[in-house]
Amino acid sequence: MFYLAYNESLILPTSNIHAGLRARLSGPDDSDYADDDDQGWVRISTDDVDDIGVAGIVKRIVEHVGNSKVYLSIDIDVLDPGTAPGTGTPEAGGWTTRELIRILRGIEGLDVVGVDMVEVAPAYDWAENTALAASQVVFEVLSSLTKKSRAATKVEAEARDEL
């Protein structure tokens, strides 16, 4: 859907990031990434959490996005299936819930205008770990948005008081 949205000029290349990628390319070259490259997507792999840490990932995201409006689409399968098995496309090697939450807390200063959580499939998780992880991630994002909204309201109130 994001490929089509870009092609219809609905999203800008300055705000396009795929984070938490761990699939190997399926072919002898990098052609699997051609569409991403053509549209200016930044790719952050799950290995980057080991190589540059959470702070490095946050820095890459913030530097790339800047002041652009941001829509977060969080796919629960960014988490390792040992943490969140209830998804239609489990793939080993994902982030932990803690790592994802720390990344989301690190980017809370961005201008987030919308968010969704996708691919939670409770039928595939009898222990409800996936639903728990997803609800905590959504709570974190909503908390960040509320915190930002309260700060903006306070600034607006102070500006009115000065008038």
Distance of CA 8 to the CA centre of its chain: 22
Q: Which residues partner with 112 through β-bridges? A: 70
Closest CA to 133 of 92, 93, 80, 83: 83
Q: Which domains does the chain have, with CATH numbers?
A: 2-162 (3.40.800.10)
Predicted confidence at residue 26, as pLDDT, reads: 66
What's the whole-model pTM score? 0.86
For residues 12 and 68, the answer to whether their CB atoms sit within 8 Å is yes
Between 2 and 80, the more confident residue is: 80
Is the confidence at residue 156, as pLDDT, over 80?
A: no
Q: 125 Cβ partners below 8 Å, 6+ apart? A: 84, 85, 86, 131
Closest CA to 58 of 100, 117, 114, 112: 100
| Per-residue pLDDT tens digits for 95-148 | 999 999 999 999 999 999 999 999 999 999 999 999 999 999 999 999 999 987
For residues 86 and 131, the answer to whether their CB atoms sit within 8 Å is yes
Please return the burial class of 43, using the count of CB atoms within 10 Å of its CB with bins 0-12, 13-18 and 19+: middle
| Per-residue pLDDT tens digits for 17-69 | 889 988 766 667 777 788 788 888 889 999 999 999 999 999 999 999 988 88
